Amino acid sequence: MNGERIRVRGLVQGVGFRPTVWRLAQDLGLTGEVRNDGEGVLIRIWGPPPERDRFCAELLVQCPPLARIDALERQPCDEPPPAAGFRIVASVAGSVHTGIVPDAATCPACRRELFDPADRRYRYPFINCTHCGPRLSIVAAIPYDRANTSMAVFAMCAACQREYEDPGDRRFHAQPNACAICGPRVWISERGGQALDPAVLGAVDAIAAASHLLGQGAIVAIKGIGGFHLACDATDARAVAELRRRKARFAKPFALMARDLDVIRRFARLDAIEAEQLASVAAPILLLAADGAERVADEVAPGQTTIGFMLPYSPIHHLLLDAWERPLVMTSGNRSDEPQCTDNDEAAERLHGLADYWLWHDRAIVNRVDDSVVRILDGAPRLLRRARGYAPAPLNLPPGFAAGPPILAFGGELKNTICLLQDGQAVLSQHLGDLEDARTAREYERTIDLYLELFRHQPAWFALDHHPGYRSTLVGIERAARAEVPIRRIQHHHAHIAAVLADNGWPLAGGRVLGIALDGLGYGADGTLWGGELLLADYAGYERVGWLAPTPLPGGGKAILEPWRTAYAHLATHLGWERVRAAYPDLEVVQWLADRPLEILDRQMATGFNAPVTSACGRLFDAVAAVLGIGRGGIQYEGQAAIELEALACRAGDDDTSAYPFAWREAVEGAPSDTIELDPTPMWQALLADLAAGRSAPEVAVRFHRGLAEAVANGAARLAARHHCSTTALSGGVFQNRLLFEDLALRLRGLGLVVLAHRQVPTNDGGLSLGQAVVAAAQVIG
Amino acid sequence: MGHGAGGRAMAQLIDELFQRHLDNPLLRQHNDQALFTPPPGRLVISTDGHVITPLFFPGGDIGSLAVHGTINDVAMAGARPLYLAAGFVLEEGFPLADLDRLVASMAAASRSAGVPIVTGDTKVVERGKGDGCFITTTGLGVVPDGVAISGDQARPGDAVLVSGSLGDHGVAILSQREGLGFATEIRSDSAALHDLVAAMVAAVPGIHCLRDPTRGGLATTLNELARQSGVGMRLREAAIPIQPAVAAACELLGLDPLYVANEGKLVAICAADDADILLAAMRAHPLGAQAARIGEVVADPHRFVQMETRFGGQRIVDWLAGEPLPRIC
Ligand SMILES: [Fe+3]
Ligand SMILES: [Mg+2]
Ligand SMILES: [Zn+2]
Ligand SMILES: [Zn+2]
């Protein structure tokens, strides 16, 4: 018997998989056919067994760059072989489940053609092939055909059409295929909107003109793959400061783009894993240690020891940066706190006054897709923002979830993503952003509809956070009523822990772990705000066995924006303000706080009026940062105080290994008997004593980090022993902090515990929807 | 103050107290109802239960508030209020002197508004079963011909106006209740708005919507109107009038003044072409001197009320689901 059927599952459609199969079969002299269908790709081949074995082995090796083979199943086939040759069978409409792959950075072959004067696409800024180019950003509906993308308005010329139809060509069925004759084009305009002739600047084309203007210190708005960027020379302090002023973004770091790894190495330390991540097809922003020989302008990342770098990922960027030996700022094209622009008219209006020049193009961006962010933490790359290059590639769920019903999870409030669960896979949307913004909230609803269509998803359940004020929850409740879909409300930190379990392939029947959720704020089961929790958890349920001592937030949300309020609440609650004042009358922070309207805060804390109580770890970071003078009066972006506290700690020497003491209290009044509460009182006593003794702020910051890591590790070990579990699962926004994360992980392993932490999914609320979905699934599966 | 059988004498006493302060011909009929001939036209009726701590606050008390609140609800239909009815629930032991003060205040409010309280009732409940004093008032009014004001009339393009600064009442109450000590500066704006409404209707009979942003503040009222009319709204933060002392108090307490209650303010929505005339009419009236145009109605399937912040962002001004809780993670 010389025939067999080969079933290939994974990301195998719309990525040049069938041409690869075709070429391989031709090379090995096999006959047969290949087709896309509802389950992936089906191959039928005939030929001698050794050749067929080689075919399968080679397919795994030669798998196209954007494809992902999850399974390859071989079965004998009795049918007679076809007459001769190997052919690609056209897909039957409606039977194909193509899904959508992420946008991918320009491949090496396209890059070569882009800079080859002899190539017909020399300097054509929309060059792409089945191995690279836009996907999610241009698609409006399925199937993923040109007609359902923003390329629909560009009719292919004869040359492009030939490539598109030739199975031997890299551009076979490349939906965004185009050239200068038939495809999208770029142009440049000045502030007032009038087009600018590149020749006037002595430039060969619009992109060269933009590059030239950037060199003169201009701020240029650049339309890219998933949105607009604002760009300027990152070494030009005046330009960077001007960009900050115009954007009204005064503190949050700007991302940078550099032509190649060599340029990046001059400004940042770069190890092998980081270099590999930067050069990957996803081409994310990497957070790197900013200690190269040269420095970008201080205004790029004030108060930071890291900078975010990415490589060019579209032909536009390659052309723009070709002549640049220095990095460019490439920050999202928006005013502070808004989503970046995607539409030309919208950009002209919203970016008015922000840019000196605009580099436009006429391929519409259908879906906003932000740049992804990766940081190497505890030796592994971890996604902190999952968007371009990653979404919407499905994540394979751990064993046990294949039987689950289709579930739609609505995510959190900030850094929102949504998640679809079906067929043992989770599709996590790209980072959508903060739903308090009206534009993002609108996009949020549109994205829900888009994903339901793209993945033909009919949810049997909705999974929502418990917070009554999250827009995601409100939208979910409204949609549930309309569509008559039942709801499951999932506790915020249970969702965090479930997300990290799913991220690590922890089986549904894997049993309980000790979840360590160190987070900002999440709505707790008791109506208070949680965020420093030790949860004995599996997918279906949890028990709250430990927490940070509750502390009020006088002023509610205001306390988050003004960390001095939280600092005062901590000192007043855990030490007593009068005692602090009496003991340290000369301490700068004590005098500073004494000048604030403390009697109002006291009153709020006494009556509970707009002073919700929280156990959140993020707020403890705020309090310590504020005592040290960081962000005390007001922060500019979420998590700023904690991020700058980490940066401060990184400036301390390594010779001192002291850690501030904390105390675990067993079974505090009103709590179940085997629970523990972390009391920060000894930490505050030691910290204030250090400040009074003139210890430097970096040293205090590092001792705080170490003390917290030590305390959490010890508490976790105590509970793990008590409840007979040996695995810890770390999640929550605080684990973006490298110092705390790595120190805690080290200590936990030292105590004999296994540590699970996020990799493919953000540890912050960007990963929340995945956790909500798997918790709901586990509860429904039962 | 007594309760039950022993309280009969007390009931008598209370009755006399009401007669003395609220005296008018209809009340003097001493019936369980007031009898009158309504004027021609369409009638509106509205009722509201008033519960507030503290009972006395800078700028008013529960008595005047119960009069103003119901007059305003009637007036928001563009109506001229005619009569009020009042029902009291008093807790056993409530000081008679306080009751005397409250009823006197009600009488003064009713007299100066020109809307008499023509019937009423009093119940005394056991100690611990009430919070001193609750007052329910019902108002009756008549709507002039040609006026068709309703919450479902807002249309894309319409202008959104407010009659003055926001948050004064709520902050005055909080300040008093929480002992926060802004009491001297900030007074409740509690007032009867029917005279202002009459002037507005005279200037622009075709006003689309009127509503007083009481509990839940401006944000809640605009969301109600947006939902009722099936539209969205866009506000400009910089255009919304807020007294500096109120803004400072909100800042200190971490409150959003858009969610703080008002008792003497109204929101008006009218065609953009009428906005200047209406605004001028409002500003010509003492209760509308600080009136401002704060935004516009837009077509929006999501019915978002959104506000352009001082930085140019577009923040959603959402419904408030219970207590405000931080949403930052
Ligand atoms: Fe969270
Ligand atoms: Mg009412
Ligand atoms: Zn390519
Ligand atoms: Zn072409």
Q: List chain A domain ranges.
A: 3-88, 196-360+368-373, 394-504+766-781, 518-756
Q: Which ligand is nearest to the CA of A765?
A: 1
Q: Which ligand is nearest to the CA of A182?
A: 4
- Residue B109 phi, psi (nearest 5): -65, -45
Tell me if B311 and A439 make a contact (CB, 8 A cut-off): no
- pLDDT tens track for B89-123: 999 999 999 999 999 999 999 999 999 999 988 88
Q: How far is the CA of A302 from the centre of ligand 1 (A)?
A: 25
Q: Which residue of B has its CA nearest to A607?
A: B178
Which fold is adopted by the domain A3-88?
A: Alpha-Beta Plaits (3.30.70)
Query: Could you tell me whether strands A395-396 and A328-332 are parallel, antiparallel, or unpaired per DSSP bridges?
Result: unpaired
Tokens of B284: 């010509």
Q: Which ligand is nearest to the CA of A768?
A: 1
Least Cα separation, residue A502 to chain B (angstroms): 21
Please tell me the distance from the alpha carbon of residue A349 to that of residue A347, in angstroms, as a whole number: 5
Of the candidates A378, A473, A353, A361, the one whose C-alpha atom is nearest the C-alpha of residue A418 is A473
- Whether A648 shows a pLDDT value over 60: the answer reads yes
Give the pLDDT confidence score for residue A91 in this predicted structure: 72
Please tell me the distance from the alpha carbon of residue A739 to that of residue A204, in angstroms, as a whole number: 48
Of the candidates B144, B142, B102, the one whose C-alpha atom is nearest the C-alpha of residue B122 is B102
DSSP class per residue in A631-677: S-S--SSTTHHHHHHHHHHTTS-SS-------EEEES-TTS-TT-EE
Beta strands in A1-150 (DSSP E): 3-11, 31-37, 40-46, 68-77, 86-88
Q: Which residue of B has its CA nearest to A637?
A: B328
Give the pLDDT confidence score for residue A318 in this predicted structure: 98
CA A664-A666-A669 angle, to 5 degrees, is 120
Least Cα separation, residue A304 to chain B (angstroms): 21
Count of alpha carbons within 13 angstroms of residue B289, beta-carbon side: 3
- pLDDT tens track for A613-622: 999 999 999 9
Q: What is the DSSP letter of A123?
A: T
- Whether A631 shows a pLDDT value over 70: the answer reads yes
Outline where A530-655 has alpha helix (H). Answer: 557-561, 563-574, 577-583, 588-594, 598-607, 617-627, 640-649
**A–B CB contacts, 8 A cutoff, strictly below:** 120
- A518-756: same fold as A394-504+766-781? yes
Give the pLDDT confidence score for residue A60 in this predicted structure: 94
Q: Whole-angstrom distance between the N-terminal and C-terminal Cα of chain A?
A: 46
Identify the burial level of A155 via C-beta atoms within 10 angstroms of its C-beta, where 0-12 means exposed, 13-18 middle and 19 or more buried. Answer: exposed
Q: Are A646 and A624 spatial neighbours (Cβ–Cβ below 8 Å)? A: no
Q: Are A389 and A282 spatial neighbours (Cβ–Cβ below 8 Å)? A: yes
Tell me if B316 and A435 make a contact (CB, 8 A cut-off): yes
Identify the burial level of A194 via C-beta atoms within 10 angstroms of its C-beta, where 0-12 means exposed, 13-18 middle and 19 or more buried. Answer: exposed
Tell me if A609 and B178 make a contact (CB, 8 A cut-off): yes
Tell me if B326 and A445 make a contact (CB, 8 A cut-off): no
Give the pLDDT confidence score for residue B1 in this predicted structure: 57
B174, B306, B311 member nearest A248 (Cβ): B311
Give the pLDDT confidence score for residue B329 in this predicted structure: 66
Tell me if B325 and A468 make a contact (CB, 8 A cut-off): yes
For A390, B2, B3, B5, B7, the CA distances from B10, given in Å and listed in that order, are 77, 6, 8, 10, 5
For A503, A643, A689, A701, A710, the CA distances from A653, given in Å and listed in that order, are 35, 19, 20, 11, 19
For the domain bounded by A394-504+766-781, which CATH number is listed? 3.30.420.360
Helix/strand/coil (H/E/C) assignment for every residue in A426-470:
EEECCCCECCCEHHHHHHHHHHHHHHHHHCCCCCCEEEEECCCCC
B253, B306, B319 member nearest A610 (Cβ): B253
Band the pLDDT of A34: cuts 50, 70, 90. Answer: very high
Q: Which residues pair with A529 in a beta bridge?
A: A523, A614
- Whether A98 shows a pLDDT value over 70: the answer reads no
CA dihedral sign of residues A517, A523, A526, A530 = positive
A438, A522, A531 member nearest B306 (Cβ): A438
Q: Are A629 and A697 spatial neighbours (Cβ–Cβ below 8 Å)? A: yes
Please tell me the distance from the alpha carbon of residue A434 to that of residue A414, in angstroms, as a whole number: 4
- Whether A151 shows a pLDDT value over 90: the answer reads yes
Tokens of B283: 């500003």
Average pLDDT over residues A219-248: 96
Count of alpha carbons within 13 angstroms of residue B281, beta-carbon side: 19
Least confident of A166-180, A339-353, A423-437, A585-599: A339-353
Please tell me the distance from the alpha carbon of residue A106 to that of residue A125, in angstroms, as a whole number: 10
Tokens of A574: 């855990």
Least confident of A237-246, A363-372, A500-509, B311-320: B311-320
Give the pLDDT confidence score for residue A334 in this predicted structure: 85
- Residue B272 phi, psi (nearest 5): -55, -35
- Treating both helix axes as pointing N-terminal to C-terminal, what angle do B96-113 and B62-75 enclose, rounded to 10 degrees? 30
List of chain B residues with pLDDT < 50: none
Choose which CATH entry (3.30.420.40, 2.40.50.100, 3.40.50.2000, 3.40.640.10) describes domain A518-756: 3.30.420.40
Instruction: Please indicate whether residue A11 or residue A517 has the higher confidence score (pLDDT).
Output: A517
Judged by CB atoms within 8 Å, which residues 179-238 of B form the interface with A? 179-181
Tokens of A599: 């009697």
Give the pLDDT confidence score for residue A1 in this predicted structure: 57
Q: Which residues pair with B296 in a beta bridge?
A: B159, B234
Q: From edge to edge, which strands make up the β-sheet containing A285-289?
A: A186-190, A357-361, A220-223, A228-233, A328-332, A255-257, A306-310, A285-289, A373-377, A380-385
Q: Which residues contact A143 (CB under 8 A, 6 or more apart)?
A: A91, A93, A96, A98
Q: Are A374 and A382 spatial neighbours (Cβ–Cβ below 8 Å)? A: yes
SS3 A114: helix
Q: From edge to edge, which strands make up the β-sheet containing B292-298?
A: B209-211, B267-270, B159-162, B292-298, B232-236, B305-308, B314-316
Give the pLDDT confidence score for residue B12 in this predicted structure: 79
DSSP class per residue in B60-87: EEHHHHHHHHHHHHHHTTTPEEEEEEEE
Cis previous bond, A143, omega within 30? yes
CA B88-B93-B98 angle, to 5 degrees, is 60
For A597, B31, B36, B46, B47, the CA distances from B26, given in Å and listed in that order, are 53, 9, 8, 20, 20
Q: From edge to edge, which strands make up the β-sheet containing A461-465?
A: A395-396, A425-428, A419-422, A407-409, A461-465, A487-490
- Whether A741 shows a pLDDT value over 90: the answer reads yes
For A236, A264, A315, A326, A361, the CA distances from A213, given in Å and listed in that order, are 13, 22, 19, 14, 18
For B171, B217, B220, the CA distances from B261, given in Å and listed in that order, are 8, 4, 10
**Distance between alpha carbon A403 and the CA centroid of its chain, in Å?**
28
Q: Are A739 and A305 spatial neighbours (Cβ–Cβ below 8 Å)? A: no
For A241, A459, B98, the CA distances from A487, given in Å and listed in that order, are 48, 10, 51
B178, B314, B326 member nearest A439 (Cβ): B314
For the domain bounded by A196-360+368-373, which CATH number is listed? 3.90.870.40
Q: Which residues contact A196 (CB under 8 A, 6 or more apart)?
A: A188, A189, A190, A206, A209, A357
Mutate to test the interface with A, among B309, B317, B329 (most CBs of A within 10 A): B329
**Does B253 touch chain A if contact means CB atoms closer than 8 Å?**
yes
Least Cα separation, residue B172 to chain A (angstroms): 15
Please tell me the distance from the alpha carbon of residue A531 to that of residue A622, in angstroms, as a whole number: 13
Band the pLDDT of A145: cuts 50, 70, 90. Answer: confident
Q: Which residue of B has its CA nearest to A612?
A: B325
Band the pLDDT of A701: cuts 50, 70, 90. Answer: very high
Per the listing, tokens 């156990």 go with: A615
Please tell me the distance from the alpha carbon of residue A212 to that of residue A145, in angstroms, as a whole number: 37
Q: Are A8 and A34 spatial neighbours (Cβ–Cβ below 8 Å)? A: no
CA dihedral sign of residues A532, A537, A539, A541 = negative
Helix, strand, coil tally for chain B in percent (to 5):
35, 25, 40
Tell me if B253 and A600 make a contact (CB, 8 A cut-off): yes
Element housing A95 (H / E): none
Band the pLDDT of A97: cuts 50, 70, 90. Answer: low
Average model confidence (pLDDT) across chain A: 95
Domains of chain B: 4-143 (3.30.1330.10), 159-316 (3.90.650.10)
Mutate to test the interface with B, among A246, A337, A384, A448 (most CBs of B within 10 A): A337
Number of H helices, E strands in chain A: 24, 30
Question: Which chain A residues are Cβ-neighbours of B253 within 8 angstroms?
Answer: 555, 558, 600, 604, 609-610
Per the listing, tokens 């707009």 go with: A610
Q: Are A354 and A247 spatial neighbours (Cβ–Cβ below 8 Å)? A: yes
* Maximum Cα interatomic distance, chain A, rounded to a whole number of Å: 97
Q: Which ligand is nearest to the CA of B71?
A: 2
Average pLDDT over residues A512-526: 97
- pLDDT tens track for A722-734: 999 999 999 999 9
